[in-house]
Amino acid sequence: MKDFLAFISIVGFIIVSVLVFIAAKYGGDWATRMMDTVVPMVIQAWILNFAIIINYHYGSSANKENKENK
């Protein structure tokens, strides 16, 4: 169940990101304002989520899981 929720969350975030970039490219005057505010937030969220995933797999959570499996 945990993997399914993670999958749904990731797919939803990808869909929202794609819609933001499409709207920014093909939109009108409001797209310029969105490029200045929303797109950097989406990129920062991608970087943050990537860092969280790396820290989970290689950080203290991975060490804790390895200790429990022994």
Mind listing the pLDDT tens digit for each residue in 24-47? 778 777 777 777 787 788 788 878
Q: How far, in Å, are 44, 54, 55, 67 from residue 48 at the CA level?
A: 6, 10, 10, 27
The pLDDT mean for the chain works out to 75
The answer to whether 13 touches 45, Cβ cutoff 8 Å, is yes
Amino acid 67: pLDDT: 66
Q: Which residue reads 């989406």 in tokens?
A: 42
The answer to whether 35 touches 41, Cβ cutoff 8 Å, is no
What are phi and psi for residue 28, nearest 5 degrees?
-95, -130
Going from N- to C-terminal start, the domains of the chain cover 2-69
Residue 59 has pLDDT above 60, yes or no: yes
2: confidence class by pLDDT, cuts 50, 70, 90: low
Q: How far, in Å, are 1, 24, 55, 62 from residue 6 at the CA level?
A: 9, 27, 16, 17
